[in-house]
Amino acid sequence: MQVLNADGSAFRQLLDGPLEGVEPSDRRAELARMVREQTGLDEAVLDRVVRRFYARALQDPLIGPVFSAHVDDWEVHYQKMVDFWASVGLLAGRYHRNALAAHRPFALVPEQFDRWLALFDATLRAECSPRGAAHLGGVARRIAGSLAARLCTDPAQTE
């Protein structure tokens, strides 16, 4: 059965009705299994992506200073991010924090989200299968768009 959409996302399947032969209570586990199988993604890949992304991001003059100023314990941060990507990308359900609230204290601008996406996409292409990169990249674009829309408002437009 084909689960991934053209943008690489499996999540539309969650909304589009039952999986044939799968009980509703088993739906999430079956979708998670299918996503892992079709993308080659697992926690080891996610850990590698997270570590390599931050190695690149910390060198970047636009977004590196944001991370450097706000992350005290990188091992803890890496694990949080692996949990996050496992939850949003593999339906693991391990991340239970509010991403919007976590980013609200920073004075972020749209260009930082654009740069984050560019670096993240490059990391995905280097570290994941094409289907894995497409899947996580689609999720990342939706998340970045949502966060940017909520966090990067121009006060002059709201007056």
Q: Is residue 124 part of a domain?
A: yes
Q: Is residue 21 part of a domain?
A: no
Q: How many domains does the chain have?
A: 1
Query: What average pLDDT is seen over the chain?
Result: 83
Q: Is residue 142 part of a domain?
A: yes
Q: Phi and psi of 42, rounded to 5°?
A: -155, -175
Q: Is residue 17 part of a domain?
A: no
Q: Please tell me whether the overall predicted TM-score, pTM, comes out greater than 0.75 for this model.
A: yes
Kindly report the CA angle at 136 between 134 and 137, in degrees rounded to 5?
Answer: 60
Q: Is residue 134 part of a domain?
A: yes
Q: Does 30 score more than 90 pLDDT?
A: no
| CATH number of domain containing 67 | 1.10.490.10
Name, in order, each residue with C-beta under 8 angstroms of 88's C-beta and a sequence gap of 6 or more.
95, 139, 143
Sign of the alpha-carbon torsion through 105, 109, 112, 113 = positive
Q: Phi and psi of 74, rounded to 5°?
A: -65, -35
Name, in order, each residue with C-beta under 8 angstroms of 52's C-beta and a sequence gap of 6 or more.
123, 126, 127
Q: Is residue 12 part of a domain?
A: no
Q: Which residue has the higher pLDDT, 153 or 37?
A: 37
Among residues of the chain, what percentage have pLDDT more than 90? 48
Q: Is residue 49 part of a domain?
A: yes
Instruction: Indicate the residue type of 20.
Output: E
The rounded distance, in Å, linking the Cα atoms of 83 and 93 is 8
Residue 144: domain span:
41-158
Give the model confidence (pLDDT) of 55-68 as tens digits: 999 999 999 999 99
Give the model confidence (pLDDT) of 100-155 as tens digits: 677 766 778 889 989 999 999 999 999 999 999 999 999 999 989 888 888 886 54
Q: Is residue 7 part of a domain?
A: no
Q: Does 31 score more than 50 pLDDT?
A: yes
Q: Does 93 score more than 50 pLDDT?
A: yes
- For residue 54, the model assigns a pLDDT of 97
- For residue 16, the model assigns a pLDDT of 55
- For residue 157, the model assigns a pLDDT of 40
Q: Does 17 score more than 60 pLDDT?
A: no
Q: Does 20 score more than 90 pLDDT?
A: no
